[in-house]
Amino acid sequence: MAFKVKAKQKGYYGYRIRKPGEVFHIERQSEFGSWMTAVGWTPPRVKPSEVDPDATGDAKLLGFKGSKPKYVEGDIEIDLTEALQRACDEKGLSVAEWNALAEKERRAYTGTAVKLLIEEELAAREDDEGDESDGEDDDEGDEDDDT
């Protein structure tokens, strides 16, 4: 069964960018996004148990089905919590707004965040290697001056 929705703002669904005011159908209720308005049906709500504060008083960011505790590329490890926080920050969302997103959206945004974090780590390593090679050249010059 398809669910009729209307875009409140620009969004991405079904391999297309949807414009504000555009009416279209989603395949499952779980695909309902915060940028959509339900037409003729009531969208699912995030269960209160999923956003209850933990012992520190902070609400937890929800992941998605199949999410891993760590994402690994080569010798780079990205923690899921770090990726979720980065994705939430990149989108400028509160924890409640993040948790209200459709699982499909959280998955896509988290994937993008993981890629960004890996790229940043690789760039930082390249910078460190460049700094080390500059230092080695200086040391070699010092040795030549001593002889």
Domain carrying residue 16: 1-44
Residue for token pair 């398809």: 2
75 and 100 share a domain?
yes
Q: Do 78 and 19 belong together in one domain?
A: no
pLDDT score for 28 = 86
Token code pair at residue 102: 């459709």
Cα–Cα distance measured from residue 68 to residue 64, given in angstroms and rounded to the nearest whole number: 9
pLDDT tens digits, 9-18: 888 888 888 9
> Which strands form 36-38's sheet, in the order they lie side by side?
23-26, 3-7, 36-38
Q: How confident is the model at residue 59, as a pLDDT?
A: 67
Q: Are residues 67 and 138 in the same domain?
A: yes
Instruction: Please list the ranges in the chain whose pLDDT falls under 50.
Output: 46-57
Same domain flag for 17 and 67:
no
State the pTM of this model: 0.51
Query: In this structure, are 97 and 137 located in the same domain?
Result: yes
Residue 55: the pLDDT is 36
Same domain flag for 31 and 59:
no
HSE-CB of 111 using CA atoms within 13 angstroms: 8
pLDDT at 50: 40
Per the structure, the count of domains in the chain is 2
Pair (92, 128) in one structural domain: yes
66 in the same domain as 26: no
